[in-house]
Structure 1
Amino acid sequence: MRKVPTAAIRYIKLGAGGRWEGALDRGWLEWGTADDRHVAGLGGDWKAVYEAYVAKGRVPATATGYTTEAKAFFDADPAVTWITFARGRMWWCVAESKVQAIEGAGDASGAFYRMARGGWQDRDANGVVLDLDRLSTRLTQLQGYQRSICRLTADQKELCLRYINATLDPVQTAMTAARDDLKQHLRTLIRRLAWRDFEQLIDLAFARTGWTRVSSLGGTMKDVDLVVEQSFTRERMSVQIKSKADQRTIDDYAKRLGERAPRERIMLICHSPIGKLTAPPPLQERRLELVMDEEIADLSINAGLVDWVIARSL
């Protein structure tokens, strides 16, 4: 994905209630209603555009707002990036200069459109989807804007560019590096754990991430160390926990766990894999899930078990 060095960023609402979201699929920006059709015929005479709105019965403040939006939409500046929010994601594009009328426009579409160069994008420069649930409300609050088009504040612009270009500010960069260091040290400590402690770590991690153990812990079940269940979905998973494992071990457990009830997910967790391990082909459309090494450190961090690991690894 390309990065965006831009002079300005504008937000555009895709119709009231998102009724113009089809513009995303058509690859263009839409704006305007039947009340705005006079804009195209006035050739950039914004005073005349304003006066026409007043003549239509708009109060001066409203006429000014409509004129400002029209000017922004008809602006041919190629350095402007446009953003919008729809379908649970942020979308962005750079628009072609030419403004064209939409024939037979109604409630389902605007009065004018501009083609989005390369279409609308919903991913950052690293190809990661710009899901709204990972964006700051300092930016997503634009969804509550009552009109159709607005500029971003300096803070919103900086934030938006960081999201699109997948860049971090110095504090985020430092914290990311610190977390990476923590993860590497935690991997070392996890490998020091006695087997029973490692098994308990995994049990605690499951419990803190929404899984409930429905079996006794280790020792009494053939091929399985614990069976866990999601309280809400009732999804079950059989888990085998190993300190070390090679590919032969993985293949063997894939076959043995694959013989369990077909409704269960099956997983093998290992903190010290021997060689590069891969899950074998699915058995009865069910693949053995592998959780290894760094993933266990991530799981421990996310489950708030760092202090527990430190204490048990002394």
Structure 2
Amino acid sequence: MEIKPDKILFIKLGEGGKYEKDCIEKSQTLRLGYQESNHQTCISNDWTTLHTSFQQLGFNKSVSTSHTNQIRLFYTEDEKTLWITFYANKLWWCFSRPVITQLSDGSKSRPVIGKWSDEDIFGNKLLASNISGRLLKTQGFRGTICKVIERDYTLQKINRKQSKEILEVENALAKLNEKLAILIQNLQWKDFETLVDLIFRQAGWQRVSDTGKNQKTLDIELFAPVTSERSIVQIKSQSTLREYLDYKEDFAPMNDYHRFFFVVHSASNNLANYKDSGDSNIHLYLLEKITELTISSGLTEWVIKKSS
């Protein structure tokens, strides 16, 4: 269900994030430090007295106002306010009931409705790597609670709604994938083999054998210098499920290799619909995956030139 909050607030869960793990993974709460603030004063909404108490602690009027306003937000925001934070390199969000409890260490907590979520409403992880720097910079806020300026963007991410410009780019990319897949299928065999070789080399693998030597289970042998892994790549322009399963049997006793890649651009229906058992070291790459890797490896223009 699409969320429609009245307001979005960022909260830093403790100095240096010291409350994050407990709040998000265990207690499902929001938690505020400010042990020096009087709980009863806040419950009574006596914000003038709270402001004065900060000045008595030596804070100037401006800083005292900032502290008071942040604490007031924690105590008074209703269930229609969306709270966000960043933890474990992800964006987390929740709604919360304004039921404030003072804990034994003087900090305060309020319960989350349900639980903290690190996913959009369709179940996709909200990884920080996929979030705009405009929102990520909120983490640099030097206080505890602040209003989220990038309200519309935040809701777009959580509700998985894209702007017109992003949708246009996604549509163009989908069209590129569709047309590029046709070009890849029409490549001459030797060019397709070279494309696969280039894809792996762009990913950091080093070729340690020549291609096209007609070895039964090996078209390319690769080495990963960072992890010292050795891999075999078997390349087919066309293949069937039976052929793939036969190669899996051939791969099984090859204990000197860490990974096996079976790459084919024109798979039979039974191979295209095959759901692998999840063998971690055997990878089936069909046309969709090959096209995706061609684009991400910057080899689109190479394919176009070879097809011209």
Q: Does 1:213 align with 2:207?
A: yes
The residue aligned with 1:146 is: 142
Q: Residue 241 of structure 1 contacts residue 269 of structure 1 at CA under 8 Å; is this kept in 2?
A: yes
Aligned mates of 1:250, 1:279 — CA distance in 2 = 12
Aligned mates of 2:221, 2:118 — CA distance in 1 = 39
RMSD of aligned Cα (Å): 1.7
Q: What is the deviation of 1:230?
A: 1.9
Select which of 274, 278, 290 maps to 2:284: 290
Specify every segment of 5 or more residues in structure 1 that has no aligned partner in the other structure, as ranges: none
1:19-44 alpha-carbon deviations (Å, 9 max, x no partner): 11111121000012320234555511
The residue aligned with 2:182 is: 188
The residue aligned with 1:34 is: 35
Distance of aligned partners of 1:138 and 1:117 in 2 relative to their CA distance in 1, 3 Å threshold: same
Aligned mates of 1:39, 1:135 — CA distance in 2 = 39
Letter in 2 for 1:6: P
The residue aligned with 1:24 is: 24
Q: What is the deviation of 1:231?
A: 2.2
TM-score, length of structure 1 as denominator length: 0.92
Where do residues 4-15 of structure 1 align in structure 2 (5 Å cutoff)?
A: 4-15=3-14
The residue aligned with 2:109 is: 113
The residue aligned with 1:179 is: 173
Secondary structure of the corresponding residue to residue 36 of structure 1: coil
Distance of aligned partners of 1:39 and 1:150 in 2 relative to their CA distance in 1, 3 Å threshold: farther
Distance of aligned partners of 1:276 and 1:115 in 2 relative to their CA distance in 1, 3 Å threshold: farther
The residue aligned with 2:80 is: 79
Percent identity over the alignment is 30
1:209-246 alpha-carbon deviations (Å, 9 max, x no partner): 22111111121533110011222112221110001111
Q: What is the deviation of 1:3?
A: 2.6
Aligned mates of 1:133, 1:237 — CA distance in 2 = 29
Distance of aligned partners of 1:52 and 1:166 in 2 relative to their CA distance in 1, 3 Å threshold: same
Aligned mates of 1:217, 1:101 — CA distance in 2 = 69
1:105-153 alpha-carbon deviations (Å, 9 max, x no partner): 26xxxx1111111111011122111111121111111111111000011
Count the aligned residue pairs.
304
Distance of aligned partners of 1:303 and 1:120 in 2 relative to their CA distance in 1, 3 Å threshold: same
The answer to which of 193-202 and 58-67 deviates more is 58-67
Q: What is the deviation of 1:201?
A: 0.4
TM-score, length of structure 2 as denominator length: 0.93
Distance of aligned partners of 1:251 and 1:99 in 2 relative to their CA distance in 1, 3 Å threshold: same
Secondary structure of the corresponding residue to residue 35 of structure 1: coil
Secondary structure of the corresponding residue to residue 34 of structure 1: coil
The residue aligned with 1:230 is: 224
Aligned mates of 1:128, 1:261 — CA distance in 2 = 36
Q: What is the deviation of 1:193?
A: 0.7
Secondary structure of the corresponding residue to residue 38 of structure 2: helix
